[in-house]
Chain A
Amino acid sequence: MRWATKAKAIVWLHVVRLWRYKWSFLSTAVTSVLWLFLFILGVLLFVPPESQREASLQAFWVVFAWSFVSSGTWLMGAWVRFLISVGLVEEHMLRGVTPYEVMYGRVIPFLFDVFLTTTIAVLVIGTTFGVNVFEVEDVWMLLLGVVLVFLQSLSYGLIVTSLSMRTGVPSQLLDIVNMLTIGLLMLPAERVHASVRHLFYLIPYTAPMQLIRCGLGGLRDYLALTEGVVVLAILLAIAASAARSTLKYVRKEGVKAVGFM
């Protein structure tokens, strides 16, 4: 099959599914924002009224960054279980299309979900707290943070994809990791002691989130930028190596997981 035909079919598949399950996507985005909003309200109970505006602005950008992490986990990594359960991995492979090629098309629902979640978060958080969430001092720094968090989430999604095809990752564990990520994203790097900050930035997503914060405040953090790129390179290398070995394994042994996750 020609590369262009394959790409066209994969894009078509994901766009059609996106349209078919539009209410599910909308529901998922609304649900995520409402959960996070509930959580933010709880946290804001501890914040004095005079600081709540600033805190809600920070909270919006945490929600934004987290929407990439969440989409990477569920719409990329965990979705492969659906593909396996309905027996489509083998069907694709027989026609010369690897499951990873199908997964690359998941970037479409991934980005659509981020867009939807962000729009709803702008409406909910912006309206409730009366803040302009787009008051940004350094757009380029912020964009760098966004690109890094997107690529890191994508790599993580591909790693989960490989794991799902070999072991069957329990969804509860993915959920727990995602919840821990919210905590990590909320923690400003300034609160971490300077001597261990370079280690802190080695935790995925922390450096991109710091770049986003720098963009909001008009600051520069070259350590976060450097380590963000290093972490991305490591994640990409792990994702590529896991994909290669999993593909080899699947061709020989078949896919592992069956059932509802």
Chain B
Amino acid sequence: MRLVTLLKSGIMLDLYYFKNNRASFVGMLVYPYLMLGLILGAGFLFGSAEAFRRNVGLNADPVLYFIASTVVAMASVSVMWEVGGNVMFLRWLGALPYVLLAPHRMSVVLVVSYIPRYVLFQLIQILEFLPLIMVLHGPIEALYRTAIIIVATLIGMLPLLGFSAIFAAVMLHLEEESNVLNWLNPLILLFSGAFYPVYLLPAWARVVSAALPTTYTLELARIASLVTMPSLGTYVALFSILLGLTALYNSLSLVLVGKSEEIVLRRGGIS
């Protein structure tokens, strides 16, 4: 089986998923606006944009700040859940033995068949916000700012895929009713500064933040919300860190998932 076949199967899976789960499709469209609406609604109900700028210490547009945060948060959860948590879903369906016995390694199957879904879902979710950004910033600036968010989520996916495959390795060994590593998703987002900037977190938390790929993805995406655009050096620095983390987490996941698969296959604990 070639990798292109896996990629094609991922695309077909998504198309049929949308076709057969219209409620999921509607849910996917509603979620980002709902999340954004809740935070902005409650934020403006109890506070103001001025207080936001003072607390954050940046001259940023609060709406775009939270659009970028929401999109990256949802993208990160999607990767962590669909790659890492998929093991539990496959076990539940009884399909895990087939995936484990497929010609490719399980990590490769999970990651490659997921890529089309990620690209499609994220593009839809980001473009959903385009009309709102256009109203706030005009059409040209909106396209530019949206492009920053798209690039951030695409580059940010690369290290996160390896990062999530490591969770898949752990999930192979757990036999619980639900994904007991679910709590890691909000925790990772918390340390990444998803809705609360990293520089406002305590020093020990900032150390954890530095190791997480989502921290840099969020920083990159949030450039879209700044009134004054940063220098080219900022972009280069963030890209370099994300590519470095891609190499690190993907090599780590290859080793760890391989070992984990071997152990589970030897034990026969795949049902």
Contacts and interface: CB of A to CB of B under 8 A. Distances in A.
A186 B42 contact: yes
A260 B178 contact: no
Given A34-B187, A45-B56, A170-B21, A27 B195 contact: no
Contacts of B54: 48
Nearest to B41: A183
A43 interface: yes
Contact of B31 (A26, A30, A176, A260): A176
B34 to A, nearest CB: 5
Contact of A28 (B56, B182, B189): B182
Nearest to B178: A24
Contact of B178 (A27, A44, A183): A27
A41 interface: yes
Interface string A16-59: 00000101101110110011011101111111110100010000
A252 interface: no
B38 A27 contact: no
Most A C-beta atoms less than 10 A away, residue of B31, B56, B190, B195: B195
A179 B35 contact: yes
A202 interface: no
Given A21-B176, A43-B43, A260-B93, A31 B27 contact: no
A260 B89 CA distance: 9
A21 B177 contact: yes
B42 A183 contact: yes
B23 A31 contact: no
B34 A27 contact: no
Interface in B10-29: 21, 23-24, 26-28
A26 B46 CA distance: 31
Interface residues of B, number: 49
A133 interface: no
Given A172-B23, A176-B27, A183-B41, A48 B47 contact: yes
A26 B51 CA distance: 36
Contacts of B69: 42
B190 A34 contact: yes
Nearest to B77: A35
Contact of B92 (A37, A49, A260): A260
A170 B23 contact: yes
Contacts, number: 123
Interface of A: 21, 23-24, 26-28, 30-31, 34-35, 37-39, 41-49, 51, 55, 170, 172-173, 175-176, 179-180, 182-183, 186-187, 191, 260
Given A39-B195, A49-B55, A182-B38, 4 more contacts: A27-B181, A42-B39, A48-B47, A173-B27
26 contacts: A21-B176, A23-B176, A24-B178, A28-B178, A31-B185, A37-B186, A37-B190, A38-B186, A39-B38, A41-B190, A41-B196, A42-B69, A43-B39, A45-B51, A45-B196, A46-B46, A46-B52, A170-B24, A172-B23, A172-B24, A173-B23, A173-B27, A179-B38, A180-B34, A183-B42, A187-B45
Interface of B: 21, 23-24, 26-28, 30-31, 34-35, 37-39, 41-49, 51-52, 54-56, 62, 66, 69, 89, 92-93, 176-183, 185-187, 189-190, 194-196
Query: Which 6 A-B pairs rank lowest in CB-CB distance, beginning with the nearest?
Result: A172-B27, A46-B47, A42-B195, A46-B43, A170-B23, A34-B186
